[in-house]
């Protein structure tokens, strides 16, 4: 009976809609507790709820209505989908064509830049001003950096947090906030920690990259994962050097005294926002030039066919290590901002979870697309800050990763190349789906 039901396409769509919405109902429902472990499941369906503000009813009625709505939209899309899509694309054709033109691109970029600089004056709520630095600007920067490694060079790095931690601990070290004395016993100002942290993070990228980047795919992911963990464990256990789990001593705020310029960053987040934004702009410009330079093309070549790339004289290892070091530089800088703004750093802030969060931003935005990664990071981190600031009814912080996971699943089904896909990446996905791409038929031929 179920089988014959399943064969009917309408019934199948209705069934899928109801199951999907039932899962959503469970996800958004109340948690259970240890005395009544199934209470969460029961309450998810039976809890009283308001039917779109109209009347009181149980949750399942509301969700059933949503399921029917989903079924209706789905059916409509199948029925008129191609017309709707061609309608949308004809409406979008003009702006799309305009976006290809260079003056338009520059104009939009400049407008966004002005908007970004005005943001602290538009939004004066202290929570949001802090969130702009800690949750948004720093994460945009990290996402741009990881995009070089994952998106451009195609290397899955699960230990990006290591470079971030190295940046933060370098800051603490050179400012004298660690038990171990700073270099030459000079207490540097955190502002001068910026070049040092970037340099040491890049060096760490080279040291980690040179031996491990000979590995491919999954193996590399595992090694980087291990590296991330090792750095955290070091920070935790090397008590005499890092201060262990109690964290560093207070880190001073940066200040700049250069000729006539005297500026001190204080407790307020806005100056840090401008500092970070400046570096975001610098990295953005540098990386987009890099993407369209021979380095970017060589990365694409290696990503697509390493054997062929080698046959035209590209040294894959050299380019991969370079990607690692360049990506690490942004994490190093982000570490300086975090350390100097938050005053103190703890090993517990540098977790695997953090690396994965950044990876999610990159995948969501669109691997290999700088604009996509920035937009993805803005959207996810703004949504996250919003959930922190004013959580909607029924939301628990523990649920966050469930929603993030669901978002990724949906993305991978409907838009695998990300929100704003890079043109090259999109093409690669399409080609490999049609069996055209670089299935590793390495060294085939008439060899035994």
Partner 1 sequence: MTSDLIFDVQNVTLRFGGVISLSDVSLNHKRGEILAVIGPNGAGKTSLFNSLTGVYQPQEGSITFFGRNAKPISIIGKKAHRVSTAGVARTFQASRMFSALTTFENVKIGAESHRGIGVLGAMVKGPATRRGEKMSDARTIELLDFVGLRDKANTISASLSYGDRRRLEIARGLATNPQVLLLDEPAAGTNPAEKIQLTQLIRKVRDEMGVSILLIEHDMKLVMALAERLYVLNFGSVIAEGTPDEIRANAAVVEAYLGSTTSDAEELK
Q: Which residues bind partner 1 (CB under 8 A)?
A: 286-287, 289-290, 293-298, 300-301, 304-305, 307-316, 318-319, 322, 326, 424-425, 427-428, 431, 436-438, 441, 443-448
The CB density around residue 381, as the number of other CB atoms within 10 Å, is 22
Name the strand (E) or helix (H) holding 206: helix 190-212
Between 130 and 295, CB nearer to partner 1: 295
Cross-strand bridge partners of residue 297? none
Between 24 and 210, CB nearer to partner 1: 210
Structure tokens at 59: 């949750």
Cα separation, 362 vs 373, whole angstroms = 5
The CB density around residue 20, as the number of other CB atoms within 10 Å, is 13
DSSP character at residue 123: -
Cα separation, 404 vs 269, whole angstroms = 27
The CB density around residue 262, as the number of other CB atoms within 10 Å, is 9
Q: Least separation, in Å, of the C-beta of 436 and partner 1?
A: 5
Q: Least separation, in Å, of the C-beta of 208 and partner 1?
A: 18
Q: Which of 405, 378, 379, 373 shows the shortest CA–CA distance to 152?
A: 373
Q: Least separation, in Å, of the C-beta of 392 and partner 1?
A: 41
Between 82 and 315, CB nearer to partner 1: 315
Q: Least separation, in Å, of the C-beta of 421 and partner 1?
A: 12
Structure tokens at 22: 């039932």
CA distances from 92 to 76, 96, 98, 410, 415 (A): 21, 6, 10, 24, 18
Between 173 and 299, CB nearer to partner 1: 299
Q: Least separation, in Å, of the C-beta of 372 and partner 1?
A: 16
Between 185 and 292, CB nearer to partner 1: 292
Cross-strand bridge partners of residue 261? 258
Q: Least separation, in Å, of the C-beta of 444 and partner 1?
A: 6
Cα separation, 247 vs 243, whole angstroms = 5
Residue 109: partners with Cβ closer than 8 Å, 6 or more residues away: none
Between 24 and 429, CB nearer to partner 1: 429
Between 4 and 444, CB nearer to partner 1: 444
φ, ψ dihedrals at 262, nearest 5°: -130, 115
Between 415 and 427, CB nearer to partner 1: 427
CA distances from 267 to 173, 261, 270, 377 (A): 20, 20, 9, 25
Q: Do strands 255-258 and 261-264 pair parallel, antiparallel, or not at all (unpaired)?
A: antiparallel
């Amino acid at each position: 009976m179920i089988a014959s039901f399943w064969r009917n396409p309408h019934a199948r769509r209705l069934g899928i809609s109801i199951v999907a919405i039932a899962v959503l109902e469970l996800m958004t429902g109340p948690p259970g507790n240890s005395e009544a472990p199934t209470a969460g499941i029961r309450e998810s369906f039976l809890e009283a709820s308001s039917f779109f503000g109209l009347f009181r009813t149980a949750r399942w009625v509301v969700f059933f209505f949503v399921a029917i709505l989903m079924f209706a939209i789905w059916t409509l899309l199948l029925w008129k989908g191609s017309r709707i899509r061609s309608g949308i694309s004809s409406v979008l054709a003009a702006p799309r064509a305009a976006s290809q033109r260079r003056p338009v691109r520059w104009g939009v970029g400049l407008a966004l830049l002005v908007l970004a600089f005005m943001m602290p004056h538009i939004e004066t709520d202290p929570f949001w001003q802090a969130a702009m630095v800690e949750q948004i600007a720093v994460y945009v920067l990290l996402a741009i950096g990881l995009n070089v490694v994952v998106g451009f060079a195609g290397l899955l790095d699960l230990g990006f947090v290591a470079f971030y931690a190295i940046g933060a601990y370098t800051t603490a070290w050179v400012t004298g906030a660690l038990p171990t004395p700073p270099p030459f016993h000079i207490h540097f100002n955190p502002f001068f920690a910026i070049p040092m942290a970037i340099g040491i993070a890049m060096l760490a990228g080279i040291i980690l990259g040179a031996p491990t980047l000979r590995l491919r795919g999954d193996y590399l992911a595992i090694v980087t994962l291990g590296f991330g963990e090792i750095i955290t464990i070091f920070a935790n256990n090397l008590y005499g050097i890092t201060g262990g789990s109690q964290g560093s001593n207070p880190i001073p705020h940066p200040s700049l005294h250069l000729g006539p310029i005297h500026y001190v960053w204080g407790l307020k987040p806005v100056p840090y926002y401008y500092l970070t934004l400046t570096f975001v702009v610098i990295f953005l410009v540098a990386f987009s030039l890099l993407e369209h330079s021979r380095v970017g093309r060589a990365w694409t070549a290696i990503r697509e066919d390493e054997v062929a790339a080698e046959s035209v004289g590209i040294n894959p290892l050299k380019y991969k290590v370079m990607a690692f070091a360049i990506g690490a530089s942004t994490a190093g800088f982000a570490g300086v901002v975090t350390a100097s703004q938050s005053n103190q750093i703890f090993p517990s802030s540098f977790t695997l979870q953090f690396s994965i969060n950044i990876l999610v931003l990159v995948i969501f935005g669109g691997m290999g697309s700088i604009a996509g990664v920035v937009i993805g990071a803005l959207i996810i981190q703004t949504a996250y800050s919003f959930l922190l600031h004013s959580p909607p009814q029924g939301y628990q912080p523990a649920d966050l990763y469930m929603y993030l996971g669901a978002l990724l699943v949906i993305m991978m089904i409907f838009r695998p190349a990300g929100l704003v896909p890079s043109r090259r990446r999109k093409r690669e996905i399409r080609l490999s789906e049609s069996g055209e791409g670089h299935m590793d038929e390495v060294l085939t031929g008439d060899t035994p």
